[in-house]
Structure 1
């Protein structure tokens, strides 16, 4: 898959975002400011890893990103988007998954659930139709047998 310009600048954008997050929290990121070391110690992320990310070399290890999210008190999803692991549409799909378009009949559901006994199947199908407020298939003669 060909990388787009947006994907190529993701590590630099993530570095700028993380730098802003750390500075907002009072970490001095100037050379010899000690902020990187202090954040690394407080977050549990290795100092070399923090340095690498802030230098714009990216972070794709989701465990590191989860640790960053925890240390920054941010939702993991936000950090994954900032790191370029997910885009906003993918994050939305994870947060609010749309049900599949696959529709099955109550009879097919009974098959998939392994309901083999005839009386149990009729009860399951009838109850499903009742809950969905749809008439069961047939002319009603099957219901007389129940």
Structure 2
């Protein structure tokens, strides 16, 4: 069973456990070579910070919590609670707005949202998109 198919860790779990679960759920293969670099590039979080958080050798600061929320397309309040910046009680009083899926804004985010994390898979999808686009252009000009 992969981390992404497991239930979300409880609020009392180490931040690193929750972060690994959330990243895996969002298509990142943490065992893949270069995964931490990809996460860092997609989030704007320094690679050393990504590694430190996944090794459980520290907690994220406020701006890192915000960047994680943007990367994963989730509200920042639960991340702030998991990081120890806010008490769990704030989640009980916070209005529960329905979470909207994060709309990818870049090609890299779109590929990650599709669960494509290897360079080979990403190149294959790009080639297919280019071929379909070229086909439609040819059909429109005929």
What pairs up with 1:1-146 in 2 under 5 angstroms?
13-30=14-31, 33-93=33-93, 95=94
**How far did residue 39 of structure 1 move?**
0.7
Counterparts of 1:89 and 1:11 in 2: how far apart (Å)? 13
1:94-119, Cα deviation, whole Å (9 max, x unpaired)? x36xxxxxxxxxxxxxxxxxxxxxxx
TM-score w.r.t. the length of structure 2 is 0.53
Gaps of 5+ in 1: 1-9, 97-146
> RMSD of the TM alignment (CA)?
2.2
2:20·2:54 contact (CA, 8 Å) conserved in 1?
yes
Q: Quick check: which has more Rg, 1 or 2?
A: 1
Show the counterpart of 2:106. Answer: none
8 A Cα contact 2:53 2:60, kept in partner: no
Contact 1:11 1:58 in 2 (8 A): no
Higher normalized contact order (CA 8 Å, seq sep 6+, divided by chain length): 2
- What is the TM-score when the length of structure 1 is the normalising length? 0.52
Go from structure 1 to structure 2 and tell me whether the alpha carbon gap of 1:11 and 1:53 turns closer, same or farther (over 3 Å shift): farther
Structure 2: runs of 5+ lacking an equivalent: 1-10, 96-142
Matched positions, count: 85
User: Are 1:15 and 1:56, in contact at CA under 8 Å, matched by a contact in 2?
Assistant: yes
